[in-house]
């Protein structure tokens, strides 16, 4: 009996020690370079930033109040005052106010602070930004354009509850399972906007983040566990889905399992213009319907160059109460 008590006491001590370790070490600070970029007041630069924010980069899908998201989806372009909330195992994540308000927004952030956050996932206070905004390889020109647009918005006072990590999220951080990631290669100074697959690769991977949703991931860590663009990422029911859940389709040109393998270019363009079929779809159809036709063609051309991956997605949309098998 004494031996059992000693074993139990040892287990309790180990658990308490681990909990204390997590609570003491999770709030890590990181260093990263400050990109030498400066916001512009040039109207064409600001216009490019606005196009990216409400179109392919879909900032407006998250950085607006929850009750305004569908307004933005339906075409209203309101200031990016934050408010979107996502509750997943690592915590409750909230999109911050990106307007120039000094008290509740980015009015006290330098251009370099914002650029570092987007390029290196290290915020103004040195904290790690969880990987919801994979913009590390935006070109210098596009990153400047986004910052310029953010500066041009009217300041909106909108105080928000901050992101809160669950114990799982704190544990992931304490153990170094998630940490800031900078660009994998030197970002281009500029990239020519045309209809080529090269530009489509840039849009699909570094701007619109098609790869982020159309690749199976571990929601606990954000790690990619499937082949790029082969689909299989499960979206649980959320605030907007009315009980529906979704699995992202395979976008590779596999003739047997690729969702768009038999689509021609005009069919692909028409689908983007048609917006959403299901109200709760996680695809930001409102933002993507604002992508200009040349950019849509570039994405289409790039997807045709992908290595075909045989990954059959039997069902994409699940009614309330339904779930994928397995």
> Is 218 within 8 Å of 310 (Cβ atoms)?
no
- Give 64-111 pLDDT, tens digit per residue: 999 998 898 888 899 999 999 988 889 999 999 999 999 999 999 999
Please report the pLDDT score of residue 241 as a whole number: 76
pLDDT band at residue 326, thresholds of 50, 70 and 90?
low
Q: Please indicate, yes or no, if residue 15 is contained in any of the structural domains.
A: no
Q: Please indicate, yes or no, if residue 12 is contained in any of the structural domains.
A: no
CATH of the domain at 204: 1.10.760
Q: Please indicate, yes or no, if residue 257 is contained in any of the structural domains.
A: yes
Kindly state whether residues 150 and 257 are assigned to the same domain.
no
Which of residues 174, 207, 230 is at a domain's end?
A: 174
Checking if the pLDDT of 133 tops 90, the result is: no
> Residue 245 belongs to what domain range?
197-318
Q: Please indicate, yes or no, if residue 10 is contained in any of the structural domains.
A: no
Kindly state whether residues 77 and 135 are assigned to the same domain.
yes
- Give 164-178 pLDDT, tens digit per residue: 999 999 999 999 988
Kindly state whether residues 155 and 207 are assigned to the same domain.
no
Instruction: Show the tokens assigned to 282.
Output: 């996680």
Kindly state whether residues 170 and 286 are assigned to the same domain.
no
Task: Tell me, letter by letter, the H, E, C secondary structure of the chain.
Answer: CHHHHHHHHHHHHHHHHHHHHHHHHCCCCCCCCCCCCCCCCCHHHHHHHHHHHHCCCCHHHCCCCHHHHHHHHCCCCCCCCCCCEEEECCEEEECCCCCCCCCCCCCCCCHHHHHHHHHHCECCCCCECCCCCCCCCCCHHHHHHHHHHHHHCCCCCCCCCCCEECHHHHHHHHCCCCCCCCCCCCCCCCCCCCCCHHHHHHHHHHHCCHHHHCECECCCCCCECCCCCCECCEECCCCCCCCCEEECCCCCCCCCCCCCCCCCHHHHHHHHHCCCCCCCCCCCHHHHCCCCHHHHHHHHHHHCCCCCCCCCCCCCEECCCCCCCC
- Region of poorest pLDDT, from 147-151, 159-163, 254-258, 298-302: 159-163
Kindly state whether residues 204 and 284 are assigned to the same domain.
yes
Count of domains observed in the chain: 2
Q: Please indicate, yes or no, if residue 26 is contained in any of the structural domains.
A: no
Kindly state whether residues 298 and 211 are assigned to the same domain.
yes
pLDDT band at residue 51, thresholds of 50, 70 and 90?
very high
Kindly state whether residues 62 and 110 are assigned to the same domain.
yes
Kindly state whether residues 70 and 153 are assigned to the same domain.
yes
pLDDT band at residue 223, thresholds of 50, 70 and 90?
confident
pTM of the predicted structure, to 2 decimals: 0.92
Kindly state whether residues 166 and 209 are assigned to the same domain.
no
- Give 177-205 pLDDT, tens digit per residue: 888 999 999 999 999 999 999 999 999 99
Checking if the pLDDT of 14 tops 90, the result is: no
| CA–CA separation, 296 and 280 (whole Å) | 23
The Cα angle at residue 307 between residues 302 and 309, in degrees rounded to 5: 120
Kindly state whether residues 58 and 154 are assigned to the same domain.
yes
Kindly state whether residues 163 and 234 are assigned to the same domain.
no
Kindly state whether residues 263 and 156 are assigned to the same domain.
no
- Give 257-313 pLDDT, tens digit per residue: 999 999 999 999 999 998 888 878 889 999 999 999 999 999 999 999 999 999 999
Q: Span 204-221, mean pLDDT?
A: 90
């Amino acid at each position: 009996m004494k031996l059992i008590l000693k074993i139990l006491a040892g287990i309790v001590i180990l658990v308490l020690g681990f909990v204390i370790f997590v609570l003491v070490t999770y709030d890590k600070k990181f260093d990263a370079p400050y990109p030498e970029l400066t916001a512009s007041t040039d109207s064409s630069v600001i216009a490019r930033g606005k196009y990216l924010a409400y179109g392919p980069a879909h900032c407006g899908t998250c950085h607006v109040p929850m009750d305004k998201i569908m307004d933005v989806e339906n075409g209203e372009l309101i200031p990016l005052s934050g408010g979107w909330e996502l509750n997943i195992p690592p915590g409750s994540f909230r999109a911050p106010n990106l307007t120039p308000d000094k008290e509740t927004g980015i009015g006290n952030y330098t251009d370099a602070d914002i650029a570092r956050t987007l390029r290196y996932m290290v915020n103004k206070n040195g904290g790690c930004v969880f990987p919801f905004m994979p913009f590390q390889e935006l070109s210098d020109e596009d990153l400047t354009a986004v910052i310029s647009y953010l500066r041009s918005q009217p300041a909106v006072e909108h105080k928000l509850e901050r992101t809160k990590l669950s114990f799982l999220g704190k544990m992931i951080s304490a153990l170094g399972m998630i940490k800031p990631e900078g660009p994998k290669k030197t970002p281009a100074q500029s990239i020519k906007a045309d209809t080529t697959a090269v530009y489509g690769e840039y849009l699909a991977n570094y701007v619109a983040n098609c790869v982020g949703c159309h690749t199976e991931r571990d929601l606990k860590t954000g790690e990619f566990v499937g082949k790029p663009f082969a689909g299989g990422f499960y979206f649980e029911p959320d605030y907007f889905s009315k009980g529906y859940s979704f699995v992202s389709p395979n976008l590779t040109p596999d003739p047997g399992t690729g969702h768009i393998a038999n689509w021609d270019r005009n069919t692909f363009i028409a689908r983007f213009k048609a917006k959403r079929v299901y109200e709760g779809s996680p695809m930001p159809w409102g933002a993507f319907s604002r992508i200009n036709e040349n950019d849509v063609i570039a994405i289409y051309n790039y997807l045709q160059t992908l290595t075909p991956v045989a990954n059959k997605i039997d069902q994409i949309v699940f009614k309330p109460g339904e779930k994928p098998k397995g």
